[in-house]
Structure 1
Amino acid sequence: MADRSFLDWPFLDDSHRSLGMELDAWCAANLSDDHPHDIDAACRDLVAALGAAGWLRYCVPAAYGGVHEQLDIRSLALIRETLARYSGLADFAFAMQGLGSGTISLLGTEDQKRRYLPDVAAGRKIAAFALTEPESGSDVASMQTTARRTASGYVIDGAKTYISNGGIADYYVLFARTGEAPGAKGVSAFIVDADTAGLAVTERIEVIAPHPLATLTFTDMELPETALLGESGRGFAAAMATLDIFRTTVGAAALGFARRALDEATARVKVRKLGAGTLADNAITQSKLAEMVLDVDTSALLIYRAGWLRDVMGQRNTREAALAKLHATDSAQQVIDKAVQMFGGMGVTVGAPVEALYREVRALRIYEGASEVQKVVIARQHLAQSAN
């Protein structure tokens, strides 16, 4: 069983400790390492199961079926960490319900919140977040999808790609250029139901850790005025506010993968024969295990500090969230690589847990702000603080 001593840290309270233990027991009883052939069906089933068990209630505010009055980053991080230890696909299903509804929770009208959030919490609606474009990834200011104002609302033209839950989502939170100002300041957010005329799923994308991923196109897609989410021209700020919350949880998912890799490697070296002893008796192995333990604990401290700063202190945590995501995702890659090495040939055999972890963790260093972007964020925050 993974180390749970971190639940006693002062960054967490009794509700988090109970959540961690209860979810761990649920995961052990309901999740497996099986690799489903039908990823779409598996994700739909996971969303329904997570909703029925009440875990998706942590993705929305209490007024709309949630647990906390406001989104609690520490709870979201703890859930993602725990799910990721058991199933990368389960973590994905949970994460997208949060990311795909987060902007509505933060900025939606009362009607928008009541129309979407209770169904997200119950697992009745599958959510998605459509920001990335074929020529615009981290550089949101280069966005080309446009939203042209009309007498009755907006007409959308353009494309989005690498959209998680693309093809199975019931709705998308879409970002498009409305042109109030150049660059990132002229972007707005919209809610788009999946059956809206003019929206098409034009490509399903296969990646090394399979999950629903697609390219979407919008051709003369008409939206009513009520589809606008938040203020016109403030879509970039809305996207960043949403990512500020969920970026910490990406690090938490990486931490879950790293904990699982450490557990698998520890169990392996204790029984793998090496000469008269086991691999665990080898000084080089012990050195690698020490490095893995250090990386896991450091990531956990950064992640739950970032959550605590926002949840308890009420402070914006852009710097701390960037630190948590950067370190946790980069170090998880190293922890898992060490685990694969300890398994030898078994470590690269399809179906082995560490082989699956090796594929699962790689994308986390790219999405919701690549590692290179996090370094820019951290440096800019540091320089701004040093000037005061």
Structure 2
Amino acid sequence: MPAFSLEPSQTAHCAELRALAEERLCPLAEKGEPGRVNRPLVAELGRLGLLERLFTSGALDLCLMRESLAQACTEAETALALQGLGAHPVHAHGTPAQRERWLPAVSEGSAVAAFALSEPGAGSDAAALGLRAEGEADAAWQGAAGAPPGREPVVSADSSAQPVAVPDGSSRWRLTGEKCWISNAPEADFYTVFARTTPGAGARGVTAFLVPADRPGLTGTALDMLSPHPIGALAFDAVPVSADDVLGEVDRGFRVAMGTLNLFRPSVGAFAVGMAQAALDATLAHTARRDAFGGKLRDLQSVAHTVAEMALRTDAARLMVYAAATAYDEGAPDVPKRAAMAKLLATETAQYVVDTAVQLHGARALQCGHLLEHLYREVRAPRIYEGASEVQRGIIAKELYAELEVS
């Protein structure tokens, strides 16, 4: 399928998603508390079948879902994306037991997932992780001590969770260190956690673990952030994990992380495109009806040209997102470059479009509760998470020079 052309059925489905978001998801989003997991909203995403599609659809479909939801309800878009980000490593690299235990609950919206990669000293530099996974030789484990002072235990909402059981003779580790700026923390039911199993090995010494929230020694705190979705920090005080918790292979967790990010980076771009389109739509409506200088705002050439620039950049970003997603679905060799390009262009474009929309609306757009005030807070974070814009430029340059050497 050409990257620049959607099938009529896809276009119709996007319109249906926007309508569903306005009718069923926005009311639930409005009842949610900023900075907290909105479980009724997550459950409704499950009832609508959108969460299950995270595991049955390709990258382009994921982008279309995120873009459509973002136009109508950014909270629903973010809730969907965070479920996918946290659970995709389980879907792609988990054992049958891990998938059976968690994926149905994620799909129905009864279990909340989180992707725990960033650390206080290792955000964009994922290969510099400091969370230690220290091997144990003893056959029996001792329960970790209670929560350190000032921290609340991370408690899973899943009352059916079973105590940790480790077969004698299996590999086991204890996780010690911190994670920070983790979406859905500390309220998630399980975490995809990346920890260093081999010191000094860089990206080759990282392992991905599936860590249920009720593991002893795991605690967390919520962080008060500019963006309204839940973000927190996690502390690992000798948290026990075993071979049964490994996602993929030991010391190959960096592949798990990058594989997940290559899928989700274009869809971060789709989220940004959805916000840009919402801001553009609001600006078109406002400038068409706003009286100014003896006419309408749209009659001013400077305004008309600005709106045209907003539309141009939004469409260009959309096309690059679709192209990157299509490349992923087709197994193209240049996915890392295309994913980085899509995220970079789309998030930077959305920042420009939303900021320009605020400028054209004037002071009313700065009032709490205005759509653009909401988008202005939402649009800043995507330029940082899942690899800051500077990191994306580094990836693009690295891939370009690698292609040069091959040719």
Task: Return the TM-score normalized by structure 2.
Answer: 0.87
SS in 1 for 2:386: coil
SS in 2 for 1:242: helix
Partner of 1:133: 119
Matched, 1:295 2:290: no
- The alpha-carbon distance between structure 1 residues 342 and 25, as it changes in their structure 2 partners (threshold 3 A), is same
- The alpha-carbon distance between structure 1 residues 86 and 21, as it changes in their structure 2 partners (threshold 3 A), is closer
Deviation at 1:18, TM superposition (A): 4.3
Unaligned runs of 5+ in 1: 1-6, 61-67
Query: 231, 236, 240: which one pairs with 2:254?
Result: 236
Say if 2:297 and 2:303, in contact at 8 Å, map to a contact too: yes
Q: Deviations over 1:157-207 (max 9, x none)?
A: 011000100022110000000007611110000000011111001x21111
Partner of 2:69: 83
Say if 2:37 and 2:184, in contact at 8 Å, map to a contact too: no
Deviation at 1:27, TM superposition (A): 1.2
Say if 1:40 and 1:211, in contact at 8 Å, map to a contact too: yes
Deviation at 1:340, TM superposition (A): 0.2
The aligned runs of 1:8-157 (5 Å cut-off) are 11-13=5-7, 16-32=10-26, 35-36=30-31, 38-39=33-34, 43-60=38-55, 68=56, 71-151=57-137, 152=170, 153-157=172-176
Say if 1:197 and 1:221, in contact at 8 Å, map to a contact too: yes
Deviation at 1:290, TM superposition (A): 0.7
- For 1:284, give the aligned amino acid: S
Say if 1:181 and 1:233, in contact at 8 Å, map to a contact too: no
Deviation at 1:292, TM superposition (A): 0.3
Say if 1:43 and 1:90, in contact at 8 Å, map to a contact too: no
- For 1:16, give the aligned amino acid: Q
Partner of 2:363: 345
- For 2:186, give the aligned amino acid: G
Question: Which piece of structure 1 moves more, 364-373 or 133-142?
Answer: 133-142
Deviation at 1:11, TM superposition (A): 4.6
- For 1:50, give the aligned amino acid: L
The aligned runs of 1:141-290 (5 Å cut-off) are 141-151=127-137, 152=170, 153-179=172-198, 182-201=201-220, 203-290=221-308
SS in 2 for 1:166: coil
Q: Deviations over 1:197-242 (max 9, x none)?
A: 11001x2111112111111001011123200111000011110011
- For 1:199, give the aligned amino acid: L
Deviation at 1:10, TM superposition (A): 5.2
Matched, 1:368 2:386: yes
Number of equivalent positions: 372
Q: Deviations over 1:9-37 (max 9, x none)?
A: 75544553343132122112123387556
Say if 1:103 and 1:238, in contact at 8 Å, map to a contact too: yes
Question: Which piece of structure 1 moves more, 205-214 or 190-199?
Answer: 205-214
Question: In terms of Rg, which structure is larger?
Answer: 2
Partner of 1:64: none
- For 1:39, give the aligned amino acid: P
Distance in structure 2 (CA, Å) of the matches to 1:9 and 1:224: 43
Question: Which piece of structure 1 moves more, 23-32 or 270-279?
Answer: 23-32
Distance in structure 2 (CA, Å) of the matches to 1:55 and 1:168: 21
Distance in structure 2 (CA, Å) of the matches to 1:21 and 1:218: 44
Say if 1:8 and 1:17, in contact at 8 Å, map to a contact too: no
- The alpha-carbon distance between structure 1 residues 37 and 16, as it changes in their structure 2 partners (threshold 3 A), is closer
Percentage of identical aligned residues:
40
Distance in structure 2 (CA, Å) of the matches to 1:85 and 1:221: 40
Say if 1:36 and 1:42, in contact at 8 Å, map to a contact too: no
Deviation at 1:91, TM superposition (A): 1.1
- For 1:30, give the aligned amino acid: R
Question: Aligned-residue CA RMSD in angstroms?
Answer: 1.9
SS in 2 for 1:154: strand
Distance in structure 1 (CA, Å) of the matches to 2:180 and 2:319: 34
SS in 2 for 1:307: helix
Deviation at 1:39, TM superposition (A): 3.3
- For 2:42, give the aligned amino acid: V
- For 2:79, give the aligned amino acid: A
Q: Deviations over 1:252-285 (max 9, x none)?
A: 0000000000000110001111122100100000
Say if 1:248 and 1:307, in contact at 8 Å, map to a contact too: yes
Partner of 2:337: 319
Q: Deviations over 1:62-112 (max 9, x none)?
A: xxxxxx3xx411111111111111122111100011000111121111211
Distance in structure 1 (CA, Å) of the matches to 2:17 and 2:204: 41
Unaligned runs of 5+ in 2: 138-169
Say if 1:108 and 1:230, in contact at 8 Å, map to a contact too: yes
> Runs of 4+ in structure 1 displaced over 4 angstroms?
7-11, 33-37, 313-316
- For 1:294, give the aligned amino acid: L
Task: Return the TM-score normalized by structure 1.
Answer: 0.91
- For 1:141, give the aligned amino acid: A
Distance in structure 1 (CA, Å) of the matches to 2:296 and 2:9: 41
